[in-house]
Structure 1
């Protein structure tokens, strides 16, 4: 059986606002989402971009995990 759907998690070192301001969020979605997975026939169901993972509080990291869990639960 081949993989036909995928969730992508991009863990970024800096805060998300920095990546958004320079267009990096869109670039990541284009290169890894559309450029790699969709090109090979794998649908990207969701692509999460989490910034500051190494520098945020434990509560913030738990919220990031909750977002992923919520998406999986909705399938």
Structure 2
């Protein structure tokens, strides 16, 4: 039972980081097209980090591997 709870928490965290990364990427694109390249590049870079953390570090490394092991 504890393994399923951990899997759910990791999946929830991966989803939250991924959604936050997508929102940050969108905001960066809006800033870039709106005429503020410095802030747009910062948002875009931070969005890449959030997407990497959500999709790969939590999503693949934790959720998928724990689901296969369970």
TM-score by length of 1: 0.31
TM-score by length of 2: 0.33
Query: Which protein shows a greater Rg?
Result: 2
Query: Which structure's residues are more often helix, by fraction?
Result: 2
